[in-house]
Structure 1
Amino acid sequence: MAEIILTIVVEVVKCLAPPAYRQISYLRESKYMSNLQNLKIEVDHLKSERVRTEHQVDEAKRKGEEIEENVENWLATANNVIVEAVKFTDDEAIANKRCFKGLCPNLKTRRRLSKEAERQKEAVVKVREARRFDRISYCTAPEDIRLISNKDYEPFESRMFTLRNILSALEDPDVNMLGIYGMGGIGKTMLAEEIARKVKSDKLFDQVVFVEVSQNQDIRKIQGEIGDKLGLKFHEESESGRANSLFTRIKAEKKILIILDNIWENLDLRVVGIPHGDGHKGCKVLLTARSQDVLSGKMDSRPNFSIGVLNEEEAWSLFKKMAGDYIEGSEFQSIARDVAKECAGLPVSIVTIARALRNKRLFEWKDALEQLRRPSSTNFKDIQPTAYTAIELSYNKLEGEELKNIFLLIGYTAISSIDALLMCGMGLGLFQGVNKMEVARARVLTLVHKLKASCMLLDHISKKEEFFSMHDVVRDVAISIASREQNALTATNEQVDGFREWSDESAVKRYTSIVLHDVRTNVLPEVVECPQLKLLFISADKESSSLTIPNNFFKRMIQVRVINLTYMNLLSLPSTLGFLLNLRALSLCYCKLLDISVIGGLKKLEILCLRGSDIKQLPTEVGQLTWLTLLDLRECRKLEVIPPNVLSNLSHLEELYISCRSFQKWEVEVEGVKNASVEELKHLPNLTSLELDIHDVNTLLRGLFLEKLEKYRIRIGDWYWESTNIWRREFRLRLNNKICLKDWLIVQLQGIEDLELRELQEQDVNYFANELAKVGSSELKFLRIHGCSDALNPPAESKRQEESANDMQSNEIILEDNVNISNTLFIEKVGY
């Protein structure tokens, strides 16, 4: 009845007062139910749209894409509207109560709920219609995992110093490309990653891109990696098209750092599409490589930073971290320290070995230490494959067999000087097409430089250019490769003692090289059949130089070309040594020698080194070695006799070294034999390098023969200098008070590079200045005049320019207007 009355009232109002009809219509139950039903329908529609959108969002997220902000906002709005509408429809039954015990509807509540249902329906429809998206998501550059903090990175001071220098270089506006180089496994990549993290956190660059290049350059792969990290999708097929797109994308970044890790060869950045330098001042490139030559020579990178091995404490700290701190203060500590030392500061070796031994038992640690001390390819496979692989890869990438052979030779012989390498290389015939010692020396220097640039060799601790060193782990790999590829045997005293290899005849016959270090006991067999042997190195322990060679030891080594015996007791050389007709190089350094006349039968011998031996007389049989090109008699302090005509018979001699407290008794009669004269050296037509000490000034030649020598170090008078290799033309003269400089004709001044004169009188200085003016001195780099402060004044007509130079208390001096002095001359004032 109430609903009938209400319907009549609504119809009357509709006719009499149309404006009030809409408001009063909310009171009708049909209107109310219609609004409520429409709301539920629209909510269901919106829910469907929400589900569809959520599915699209989930799919985009699985692809690693970022969701558009308006999509995220719409979903949030839709959720709010749906929640509100559902809550409303769930609560309306409770709110819709009737008056008078349910006999009459609650018109006030009905009107309110009906209006609210209509309002919420319109809101739902508005949200649903607002779902008009051009796209749900967009692609972004994913975060580079390399730039996430690395818990294994240790901020060692030796690394932090280099890191700070690199960061400083990156802030230099004049630097657009720089590099890091070091041997395989040294930590170049880890340092580069830390630099990337640092510049990103410090906001030095807007973008940082890290890409590994590797030894097999793949331009498309490099382009793809850079593009991925910049959120760039390529639509071009050709490399050049992709390069253009990449170039444009990188140019859009105001400041960007691109790190190209593991460069092996030249990489043309233009081909890749990387602008730098004048092409884009805001783009800087950081390279890492194993070879300095690749950086500076092929990539023209400046500056370049070298990273070396960790010091002992840094290495131990890293080793403990990888193996576990439990090793310190336990029964493991002593052996763990020894294992860590065998890694020799190489991070990749430290990490792989320490992790491999983590939580292992004590006997496993001891076995690992023994393996490390006796390197072989099989040992490396189990204990440190990463280190072995990294270094072997560098070896495989060396250019040419010549460089590879030199690397292996240095590795398994432990050679550490240019001289020793020259003698072995020439003796083995490793330098194709090279017959002259001076040419061979230049080749050796070049090869050593290449190995250093490739970080396969290191500078010697002395920093002298004539010496070098090899990292212990690198040497182990070289020994392993040489053993596998060249049948080279290398052993130390611990391995030689009770040496079983001698009894394995089949193995011995295959050896091409035998190297035994620090031998303490006489373990050499009477005879060894080595038909393939080309090189023999045996060094006795310095403290126990009683090691001898059996007389028949060389009998069946007919092909051997190089023999190096050090610190051995060879008072009488084995007679079978004379059977070695193919021998090219013989070194008996620091050996006890008495009779070496047997070497007269070595007709093909080209190199003879007796350096540091205690030989007293050079036998006349040496004069029969007419093919000898190098004779080294340095540090032979007991040498008193060189018979006449022995040296002058060596017509092919190119290099002669008699110095450093060695032979001094030129032309002096000793035990009825008159010694050789310095003048004999004039009759050596091929002599190019000479090191010579003449103690007695009175034996000085009138008119030296320096003009035909390429390099020399000649010291006349009382000089007590340690011997070093010859790298330039040096002449040092110490006069006594009875001799005046003008009595000697130094007509070769024009070729001297380093000249030192001591105990000169004033007239000697004037005479020298005049002679210098006559012959010219364009090649003179160093001039030192010692002793007489009154004699240090150049002629009045000369011009003087005084200023400090280097770390010497010296003056720079320019003599005579017509003297061509293009280099600095140093006068060192020395008081007595």
Structure 2
Amino acid sequence: MVGLSDVPCVGKALDRVSEATVEAMFHGLRYMFCYKELVNVLNSDIEKVNIQEERVSRKAAAARADGKTVEDYVMKWQKEVEEIQESAREFSGKYKNRHSWRRDVYGELWEILVSEGSSPVIGIYGMPGVGKTQMVERIWGEAKEKKIFDKITRADVGFQKLDVIKVQNQIAGYLNCHFESKDNVDHRASQLKRSLLNGGKILIILDDIWREIPLDIIGIPFGHGSTSTGSKIILTARVEEACLRNNCRHPVKITPLTTDEAWDMFKYTIGSSQMESLQDEALAKEVCNQCAGIPLVIHAVGKALQFMSDNSWKDALYQLKNGHVENIPGIGPEVYDCLKSNIDPPSVFN
């Protein structure tokens, strides 16, 4: 008889394959950048399960050949494994090329970042909420881990009139540079310039720019011989023109998710059990489509509606269609601002 002792202890592996690993692909925005790593983990787990399943199948076949009985739970286990194997095959086929463009975008940015002689100014642009800042965070982490630069610093610029002292403080904070003057912009710029030049190879990230940034007034010495050290500036902006006005030759665009990508993220945010409990999946797809492929909005709307009734879903769809996302309970102002900006972005260029 083939029984419990012949069933390998792979319960945790099965759980990991069928739930955690696959779901991790869609955890927040991480799936955009960690696809290859997570697929490798998935394939590794599947391989372990395949080895165990083959061993059990051999024992079960031998038992049947000897006229013995195979316990029901052994056959149930084999069926579960078959289902997981089939799901893994479908998953690999479905997502083999699904996020390739985002991986290509990251690869392009990284190549510019590390290549000698490449442009010292790198621009990333796209509508609010599509993942520009997350892309930069990924670059920040990898550059730090691989020690590509001697120092990395950043500042959030924003739409309002440029606050030079604020930007100087943010950049200096990462350099451990302590200003001798609190309010003399010129003296501070001179000191910050010396600190940057003394720092070796430096990466400077300027997030959310809207117009031409006066680097010399801030104290960033690009264009004054510092580019020979291999230092780089990364800019993020909503529009391409902002990057071009800051001497970025070939800005890289981050686009919204495709319909399939958005739906996958939305389903993960809602959760499989909650998705199954919905009376009308088509309604959920309509709501998802109104999120315009913007990860920030998809995640926020999905979380807000996760445990809501069908009537709440219908109301949310109405609000989204009419541009009143702020009327959906649980939606924060940042989501409203994001959608409003995408519909009617302010212009700072004449």
User: Normalising by the residue count of structure 2, what TM-score does the alignment of the two structures yield?
Assistant: 0.65
Residue 173 of structure 1: which of 101, 113, 116 is its match? Answer: 116
Tell me what 2:15 maps to: none
SS of corresponding position for 1:265:
coil
Work out whether residues 319 and 327 of structure 2, in 8 Å CA contact, stay in contact via their aligned partners in 1.
no
Q: Distance in 2 between matches of 1:221 and 1:350?
A: 32
* Shift of residue 327, structure 1, vs aligned partner: 3.1
Residue 180 of structure 2: which of 235, 239, 244 is its match? Answer: 235
SS of corresponding position for 2:277:
coil
Tell me what 1:270 maps to: 216
Label 1:315 to 1:193 Cα distance change in 2 as closer, same or farther (>3 A). Answer: same
Tell me what 2:203 maps to: 257
Work out whether residues 28 and 299 of structure 2, in 8 Å CA contact, stay in contact via their aligned partners in 1.
no
SS of corresponding position for 2:190:
helix
Residue 305 of structure 2: which of 328, 350, 357 is its match? Answer: 357
- Is it true that 1:207 corresponds to 2:83 in the alignment? no
Tell me what 2:346 maps to: 397
Tell me what 1:198 maps to: 142
Q: Distance in 2 between matches of 1:201 and 1:343?
A: 34
Unmatched runs of 5 consecutive residues or more in structure 1: 1-150, 404-832
> Cα deviations across residues 449-477 of structure 1 (Å, max 9, x unaligned)?
xxxxxxxxxxxxxxxxxxxxxxxxxxxxx
Which one-letter code corresponds to 1:154 in the other structure? R
Work out whether residues 211 and 242 of structure 2, in 8 Å CA contact, stay in contact via their aligned partners in 1.
yes
Label 1:303 to 1:277 Cα distance change in 2 as closer, same or farther (>3 A). Answer: farther
* Shift of residue 293, structure 1, vs aligned partner: 1.1
Matches within 5 A, 1:405-420: none
* Shift of residue 180, structure 1, vs aligned partner: 0.5
Tell me what 1:318 maps to: 265
Residue 294 of structure 1: which of 238, 242, 245 is its match? Answer: 242
* Shift of residue 169, structure 1, vs aligned partner: 0.7
Label 1:393 to 1:370 Cα distance change in 2 as closer, same or farther (>3 A). Answer: closer
* Shift of residue 391, structure 1, vs aligned partner: 4.9
SS of corresponding position for 1:328:
helix
Matches within 5 A, 1:94-493: 152-156=28-32, 157=99, 158-174=101-117, 175-216=119-160, 217-236=162-181, 237-281=183-227, 282-296=230-244, 298-331=245-278, 333-373=281-321, 375-376=322-323, 379-383=324-328, 385-393=333-341, 395=344, 397-398=346-347
* Shift of residue 155, structure 1, vs aligned partner: 3.1
Label 1:399 to 1:276 Cα distance change in 2 as closer, same or farther (>3 A). Answer: closer
Q: Distance in 2 between matches of 1:165 and 1:199?
A: 14
Label 1:177 to 1:399 Cα distance change in 2 as closer, same or farther (>3 A). Answer: closer
Work out whether residues 154 and 318 of structure 1, in 8 Å CA contact, stay in contact via their aligned partners in 2.
no
Q: Distance in 2 between matches of 1:326 and 1:239?
A: 57
Label 1:155 to 1:206 Cα distance change in 2 as closer, same or farther (>3 A). Answer: farther
* Shift of residue 396, structure 1, vs aligned partner: 5.8
Q: Distance in 2 between matches of 1:320 and 1:257?
A: 37
* Shift of residue 372, structure 1, vs aligned partner: 2.3
Identical-pair percentage: 31
* Shift of residue 168, structure 1, vs aligned partner: 0.4
* Shift of residue 294, structure 1, vs aligned partner: 1.4
Label 1:211 to 1:249 Cα distance change in 2 as closer, same or farther (>3 A). Answer: same
Q: Distance in 1 between matches of 2:155 and 2:28?
A: 20
* Shift of residue 203, structure 1, vs aligned partner: 2.0
Q: Distance in 2 between matches of 1:310 and 1:359?
A: 24
Work out whether residues 181 and 288 of structure 1, in 8 Å CA contact, stay in contact via their aligned partners in 2.
yes
Work out whether residues 277 and 283 of structure 1, in 8 Å CA contact, stay in contact via their aligned partners in 2.
no
Bigger helix share: 2
Q: Distance in 1 between matches of 2:143 and 2:299?
A: 26
> Cα deviations across residues 726-783 of structure 1 (Å, max 9, x unaligned)?
xxxxxxxxxxxxxxxxxxxxxxxxxxxxxxxxxxxxxxxxxxxxxxxxxxxxxxxxxx
Give structure 1 regions of 4+ aligned residues with deviation exceeding 6 angstroms. none
* Shift of residue 239, structure 1, vs aligned partner: 0.7
Label 1:200 to 1:226 Cα distance change in 2 as closer, same or farther (>3 A). Answer: same
Q: Distance in 2 between matches of 1:396 and 1:305?
A: 19
Work out whether residues 128 and 338 of structure 2, in 8 Å CA contact, stay in contact via their aligned partners in 1.
yes
* Shift of residue 171, structure 1, vs aligned partner: 1.4
* Shift of residue 341, structure 1, vs aligned partner: 1.8
Work out whether residues 181 and 304 of structure 1, in 8 Å CA contact, stay in contact via their aligned partners in 2.
yes
Q: Distance in 2 between matches of 1:388 and 1:290?
A: 16
* Shift of residue 399, structure 1, vs aligned partner: 5.0
Label 1:292 to 1:396 Cα distance change in 2 as closer, same or farther (>3 A). Answer: closer
Q: Distance in 1 between matches of 2:346 and 2:292?
A: 23
Work out whether residues 207 and 257 of structure 1, in 8 Å CA contact, stay in contact via their aligned partners in 2.
yes
SS of corresponding position for 1:179:
strand
SS of corresponding position for 1:257:
strand
Tell me what 1:822 maps to: none
* Shift of residue 307, structure 1, vs aligned partner: 1.1
Work out whether residues 182 and 290 of structure 1, in 8 Å CA contact, stay in contact via their aligned partners in 2.
yes
Which one-letter code corresponds to 2:153 in the other structure? V
Matches within 5 A, 1:741-756: none
Which one-letter code corresponds to 1:184 in the other structure? P
SS of corresponding position for 2:31:
coil
Q: Distance in 2 between matches of 1:235 and 1:253?
A: 18
Work out whether residues 149 and 202 of structure 2, in 8 Å CA contact, stay in contact via their aligned partners in 1.
yes
* Shift of residue 277, structure 1, vs aligned partner: 4.5
Which one-letter code corresponds to 1:261 in the other structure? D
Shifted more, 326-335 versus 262-271: the winner is: 326-335
* Shift of residue 247, structure 1, vs aligned partner: 0.9
Which one-letter code corresponds to 1:244 in the other structure? S
User: Normalising by the residue count of structure 1, what TM-score does the alignment of the two structures yield?
Assistant: 0.28
Q: Distance in 2 between matches of 1:167 and 1:246?
A: 27
> Cα deviations across residues 313-370 of structure 1 (Å, max 9, x unaligned)?
2212222333333333332544322211221212222122112212222321222123
Work out whether residues 183 and 290 of structure 1, in 8 Å CA contact, stay in contact via their aligned partners in 2.
yes
SS of corresponding position for 1:300:
coil
Work out whether residues 274 and 306 of structure 2, in 8 Å CA contact, stay in contact via their aligned partners in 1.
no
Superposed CA RMSD in Å reads 2.2
Bigger strand share: 1
